[in-house]
Amino acid sequence: MSAQPLISFIVPVYREEENIARMLCNLDGVLKPHPDWHYEVIIIEDGSPDGTRRVIEQEIGKYPYAQLILHDKNQGYTASLKDGIRAARGKFLMYIGADEEFDSSELPAFVEPLRQGEADLVLGVRWQRNAYQLFRFFLSVIYIFTLNYLFKMRINDYNWSQAWPRELLERIELKSGSLFVLPEIIIKAHDLGYRIKEVPSNHRGRQAGKSSVNVKIMGRALRDAFLFAVLRNSKKYSPGKKQ
């Protein structure tokens, strides 16, 4: 096995037949000028009912640093993210969406603060969400406000691209089975004293396909948030794994 990568990029994919080839090509164009990152890409195809798997299998041979994990049945975004985390070998790990809403050219803003020791976690913040419909925008605002209120934090974006140290993910146990999994990482990192840096990020909006985020999915995330808030305020809470 080759030497440990500096950073592993984790890409959960579901129903992105029209986006994934372009996303991988754009990602490759940013990675190639940075051989010093010693990167790998973990792609998790989550049982898409369309042609997503076929497209990935056609494209992945172009990227020798990429690894493909296949789910025969759809297991959900959180299960895909956790599988990617388990498979990743990097000193740092970064989550990237497969829908092309994230601009891969921004990767140095996430990777370099980690390399230079300026921060332990780097969170992307979508300062502008012009591509969102008004209802989706208000859902996001309410979600962020609620999480900051519940956890007495001032985070501007909980569910966008993020980069973490492997050491953190080895110290914590992720319990959430919903979109709350990313906030769970952030909150536990905060409680363990990790330094968090936020960087502005451009939200480009989808060029093809439809987002799977809806009121039901957001409701599950809020339910997990309230349950975690109760636990966090109890004497039973420990942000790290119990030894």
SS (H, E, C) 67-132: EEEEECCCCCHHHHHHHHHHHCCCCEEEECCCCCCECHHHHHHHHHHHHCCCCCEEEEEECCCCCC
Residue 105: how many CA atoms within 13 Å on its side-chain side? Answer: 3
One digit per residue, the tens of pLDDT, for the chain of length 243 reads 467 899 999 999 999 999 999 999 999 999 999 999 999 999 999 999 999 999 999 999 999 999 999 999 999 999 999 999 999 999 999 999 998 889 999 999 999 999 999 999 999 998 766 555 655 667 778 889 999 999 999 999 999 999 999 999 999 999 999 999 999 999 999 999 999 999 999 877 666 656 666 668 888 999 999 999 999 999 999 999 875
Given a contact cutoff of 8 angstroms between Cβ atoms, the answer to whether 21 and 55 are in contact is yes
* 7-131+156-173+188-207, CATH topology level: Spore Coat Polysaccharide Biosynthesis Protein SpsA; Chain A (3.90.550)
* pTM, full prediction: 0.92
pLDDT of residue 130: 57
- The HSE-up count of residue 234 (CA atoms within 13 Å, CB side) is 8
pLDDT score for 127: 75
- Torsions phi, psi of 123, nearest 5? -115, 130
Q: Residues 110, 197: contact at Cβ < 8 Å?
A: no
Q: What is the pLDDT of residues 94-126, one digit of tens each?
A: 999 998 889 999 999 999 999 999 999 999 998
